[in-house]
Amino acid sequence: MTTPRRDRTLRNALLANAGFSTLTGAAMIAAASPLAAAFGVAEPLALTLVGANLLPFAAALVWLARRPTVPVRLAAVASVLDFGWVAGTGLMALLAPTVMNGTGWLAAWAVAAVVASLGAAQLAGIRRTGLPPDPVRDGAG
């Protein structure tokens, strides 16, 4: 019987985040106009640009998850970026509440909830590895 890898939780969380980011980004690109209309967003290009930025993020998450040893610091950065997305959603709600209609805000908060959960799962995976950040192993040294 094999012992499960200590980093399996982290790898799975990174891959789940990559999958969600890919699906969300692809949907925002492929259906920018209908989504903009449904969400009350004036310019579909805004959704296209956000979606286009999610795809390289997703690719980076896959790269992290597939490394022989997951760079803990970079995985933590991914979580910080996830929580930044959630904070950005809140900031946008406070500063530009009319940028979307109620359906748009419902979708934005649903996405933010998933993103927060994925960020938290990554942090849990980091803790489970038991590996402290290492500048040499993590590519910062």
Q: What is the pLDDT of residues 3-35, one digit of tens each?
A: 357 889 999 999 999 999 999 999 999 999 999
Q: Which helix (H) or strand (E) holds 71?
A: none
Q: Is residue 1 part of a domain?
A: no
pTM over 0.75: yes
Question: How many structural domains is the chain composed of?
Answer: 1
Q: Is residue 136 part of a domain?
A: no
Give the Å distances, CA to CA, from 101 to 27, 36, 96, 104.
Answer: 19, 10, 11, 5
Q: Is residue 52 part of a domain?
A: yes
* pLDDT tens string 59-103: 999 999 999 989 999 999 999 999 999 999 999 999 999 999 999
Q: What domain range includes position 58? A: 8-129
Q: Is residue 107 part of a domain?
A: yes
